[in-house]
């Protein structure tokens, strides 16, 4: 009805609920969700339009007394808007009231140009129409606290109605500037609440985020693109060129055809009505609003009863519409699985942006550009600076046939192109999976020529070594003690503070064409390792026929047997190893496993000279060199890590289970304690 940019909700959780409330139940499409929904509280939410680029605020971590949630929005220049949603229970005691005032003062002491605080404060003792006249000590202490914060309260009309009882002003809106709020209206309550929904205009100057135009692949003229690419004599166009030059020619030809035949659009910020909303449900909702408006005018009991009836009918009709939509999606999932996964993704994905980051020197990175730089510096700080003077020896294995080179055919390329997921995002070269899959027959020949040039020269195009990194906040599952099931909305919790760069993990976007080349080389390497029986049986990651499930089954079988025999188990687990793999040691192991010649030279060039930059809300950091590790976001990288740790079980006596970079050493105790310690020393050595 109103299409708000910001939504603040108090008492978001029902009373005495038994089933856990999942985060997806509170998410709205097109909004970023910020929540504080502890099990013992009623829950507060803030939903902000995604195009406003909201971020979590450090105020949420500092304000622990009040039930509140805070977020920030960047304004023009360096100005920022702080948004807070607060709930004060009517049963609050004196100590809790003092904590709420303290938290409000903490929020206001932060250096924000604009502050908006709203919520349900349950303070009928304060007569806001009479310039804050108070009845009782509680109201007086709160008024003193509000005035100490230099806040302005804007609500002057009653917001809480219950049949024909006396109406009170319980829901408040505070700002740090008197002229920030205009046109406050009291609208229909949410659900069965007796609190009116407050709708208001906030005067501010939101930072304009420049949206980059995007290709609309659904409206592309694929036949014209195929004809354009088919008319090119690729053998002549690429003859005599180096790998770098050939890639530049292919990329320009593809981009020219894309710009000519695929329309572009700038993503809009217009809200859409829910996909489940049908005409019948919409009519019931409109009737609910009309009857509430009539009750507000007359304040008569019969009009309230009419409103309550319309409210219930609207609730039932909306729930029925949602059930009908979900039932239809489920029934059609076999023929239209895309619709099912698209609907599920809209419910499961919740974003909360990148919070202000605290640097090592204590300073704070507030702008998107500063956050990108801080995160990129941290991601690069974990790289290993390899000491090449004392590289240990690696005994060469007995290999029947060593691998020195390989050749790529057009058929190989077509198979890989047809398996691409068209919904995957492109890398820095801006060539998406959609055009590669749609034009697989036309692009197979030039890409095969390019890949063979790359393998022959032992080099890859410089653009293939670049990666755009998106930082994702780490989350972990939290389960109830003893029964392994979520207990509340906090079943997905944070690993640490959102202000720490170390609590974000990098997800990289690299060239799709490079990934196809990597996939072909990976298949070649896996075949070589399998035929020569080089892979350890302890490894369960990134190997055909193995998975985390086979790893779990093997571990549980061993542990269960030990427990049945009244033994105990000690287990050591290693993690976070991908970024620290030293390149020269990895190449030495590959050579020991029979990978030589041009193929080894290609892998060496693939690993070295790489660059990455972090992108936050369209703002990019500077490029930084990748000194070690398996390239994040690559196809070949995971298997290279498997090769690097393949000989790990040979230097320990404990039972070993590997799943990529997760390694478990297990031994029975008490007899195996010294063995486990010796194995740790051996691994370190």
Whether 480 is in a domain gets the answer no
Q: State the pLDDT at residue 485.
A: 35
Q: State the pLDDT at residue 210.
A: 67
Give the number of other CB atoms < 10 A from CB of residue 6: 19
184 and 302 co-located in one domain: no
Q: How far apart are CA 535 and CA 649, in angstroms?
A: 11
Whether 633 is in a domain gets the answer yes
Q: State the pLDDT at residue 271.
A: 63
Query: How is the chain split among helix, strand and coil, in percent rounded to 5?
Result: 40, 20, 40
Q: Residue 193's domain is classified under what CATH number?
A: 3.60.10.10
Tokens read off for 683: 């691994």
Q: How far apart are CA 284 and CA 311, in angstroms?
A: 8
State the burial class of residue 449 (Cβ atoms within 10 Å of its Cβ: 0-12, 13-18, 19+): buried
Contact 468, 508 (CB under 8 A): yes
Q: How many structural domains are present in the chain?
A: 4
586 and 448 co-located in one domain: yes
589 and 452 co-located in one domain: yes
Q: State the pLDDT at residue 487.
A: 34
298 and 193 co-located in one domain: no
DSSP code, position 502: G
63 and 201 co-located in one domain: yes
The residue length of the chain stands at 685
- Give 124-139 as a DSSP string: TTEEGGGTSEE-SHHH
413 and 453 co-located in one domain: yes
56 and 204 co-located in one domain: yes
Q: State the pLDDT at residue 248.
A: 95
Q: State the pLDDT at residue 484.
A: 34
188 and 54 co-located in one domain: yes
Whether 491 is in a domain gets the answer no
Tokens read off for 464: 């293939």
Question: What distances in angstroms separate CA 557 from CA 63, 550, 563, 569, 655, one per listed residue?
Answer: 47, 11, 10, 12, 12
Q: How far apart are CA 488 and CA 380, in angstroms?
A: 37
Q: State the pLDDT at residue 42.
A: 85
The residues pairing with 6 across neighbouring beta strands, listed in sequence order, are 48
Q: State the pLDDT at residue 250.
A: 95
Q: State the pLDDT at residue 481.
A: 36
**Furthest C-alpha separation in the chain:** 93
DSSP code, position 403: B
Q: Which domain does 177 fall in, by range?
A: 6-208
Q: Which of 316, 351, 386 is the last residue of a domain?
A: 351
Whether 215 is in a domain gets the answer no
516 and 446 co-located in one domain: yes
Q: State the pLDDT at residue 269.
A: 62
Whether 505 is in a domain gets the answer yes
**What is the torsional sign of CA 369, 371, 374, 377?**
negative
468 and 545 co-located in one domain: yes
Whether 19 is in a domain gets the answer yes
| Residues lower than pLDDT 70 in the chain | 130-132, 163-164, 208-210, 268-271, 348-352, 475-496, 573-576
239 and 312 co-located in one domain: no
Tens of pLDDT, residue by residue over 489-509, are 333 444 467 788 888 888 888
Contact 374, 364 (CB under 8 A): no
Whether 362 is in a domain gets the answer no
Q: State the pLDDT at residue 279.
A: 93
Q: State the pLDDT at residue 574.
A: 63
319 and 429 co-located in one domain: no
Sole residue written with tokens 């389960």: 479
Q: How far apart are CA 433 and CA 260, in angstroms?
A: 18
């Amino acid at each position: 009805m109103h299409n708000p940019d910001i939504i603040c909700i108090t008492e978001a959780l029902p009373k005495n609920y038994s089933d856990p409330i999942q985060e997806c139940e509170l998410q709205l499409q097109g909004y970023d969700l910020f929540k504080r929904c502890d099990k013992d509280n009623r829950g507060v939410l803030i939903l902000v339009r995604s195009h406003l680029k909201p971020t979590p605020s450090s105020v949420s971590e500092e304000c622990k007394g009040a039930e509140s949630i805070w977020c920030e929005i960047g304004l023009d220049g360096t100005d920022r808007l702080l948004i807070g949603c607060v709930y004060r229970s009517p049963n609050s005691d004196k100590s809790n009231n003092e904590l709420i005032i303290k938290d409000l003062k903490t929020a206001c002491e932060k250096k924000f140009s604009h502050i908006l605080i709203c919520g349900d404060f349950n303070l009928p003792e304060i007569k806001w129409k009479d310039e804050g006249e108070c009845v009782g000590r509680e109201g007086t202490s709160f008024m003193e606290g509000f005035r100490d914060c230099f806040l302005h309260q804007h609500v002057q009309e009653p917001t809480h109605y219950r049949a024909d009882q006396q109406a009170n002003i319980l829901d408040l809106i505070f700002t740090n500037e008197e002229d920030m709020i205009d046109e406050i209206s009291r609208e229909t309550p949410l659900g069965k609440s007796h609190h009116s929904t407050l709708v208001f205009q906030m005067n501010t100057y939101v930072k304009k985020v420049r949206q980059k135009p995007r290709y609309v692949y659904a409206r592309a003229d694929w036949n014209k693109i195929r004809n354009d690419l088919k008319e090119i004599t690729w053998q002549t166009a690429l003859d005599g060129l180096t790998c770098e030059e050939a890639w530049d020619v292919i990329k320009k030809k593809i981009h020219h055809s894309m710009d000519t035949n695929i329309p572009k659009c700038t993503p809009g910020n217009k809200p859409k009505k829910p996909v489940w909303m049908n005409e019948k449900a919409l009519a019931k909702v409109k009737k609910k609003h009309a009857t509430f408006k009539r009750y507000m005018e007359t304040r008569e009991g019969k009009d309230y009863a009419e409103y309550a009836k319309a409210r219930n009918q609207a609730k039932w009709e909306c729930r029925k519409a949602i059930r009908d939509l979900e039932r239809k999606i489920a029934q059609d999932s076999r023929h239209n699985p895309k619709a099912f996964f698209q609907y599920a993704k809209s419910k499961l994905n919740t974003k909360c942006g990148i919070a202000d980051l605290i640097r090592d020197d204590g300073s704070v990175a507030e702008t998107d550009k500063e956050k990108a730089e801080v995160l990129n510096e941290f991601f690069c700080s974990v790289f290993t600076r390899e000491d090449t003077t004392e590289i240990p020896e690696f005994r060469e294995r007995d290999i029947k046939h060593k691998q020195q080179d390989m050749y790529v055919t057009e058929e190989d390329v077509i198979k890989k192109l047809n398996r691409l997921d068209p919904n995957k995002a492109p890398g820095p070269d801006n060539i998406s999976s959609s055009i590669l899959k749609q034009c697989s027959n036309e692009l197979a020949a030039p890409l095969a020529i390019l890949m063979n040039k790359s393998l022959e020269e032992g080099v890859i195009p410089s653009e293939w070594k670049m990666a755009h990194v998106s930082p994702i906040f780490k989350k972990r599952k939290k389960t109830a003690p003893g029964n392994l099931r979520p207990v509340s909305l906090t079943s997905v919790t944070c690993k640490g503070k959102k202000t720490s760069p170390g609590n974000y993990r990098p997800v990289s976007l690299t060239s799709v064409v490079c990934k196809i080349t990597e996939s072909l080389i990976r298949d070649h390497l896996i075949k070589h390792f399998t035929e020569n029986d080089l892979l350890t049986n302890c490894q369960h990651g990134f190997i055909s026929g193995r998975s985390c499930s086979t790893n779990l089954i093997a571990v549980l079988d061993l542990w269960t047997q030990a427990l049945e025999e009244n033994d105990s188990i000690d287990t050591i687990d290693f993690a976070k190893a991908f970024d620290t793999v030293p390149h020269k040691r990895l190449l030495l192991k590959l050579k020991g496993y029979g990978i030589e010649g041009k193929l080894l030279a290609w892998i060496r060039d693939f690993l070295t000279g790489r660059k990455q930059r972090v992108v936050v809300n369209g703002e990019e950091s500077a490029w930084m060199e990748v000194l070690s590790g398996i390239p994040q976001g690559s196809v070949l990288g995971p298997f290279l890590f498997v090769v690097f740790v393949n000989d790990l079980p040979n230097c320990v006596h404990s039972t070993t289970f590997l799943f990529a970079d997760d390694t478990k050493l297990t031994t029975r105790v008490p007899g195996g304690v010294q063995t486990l310690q010796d194995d740790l020393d051996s691994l370190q050595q």
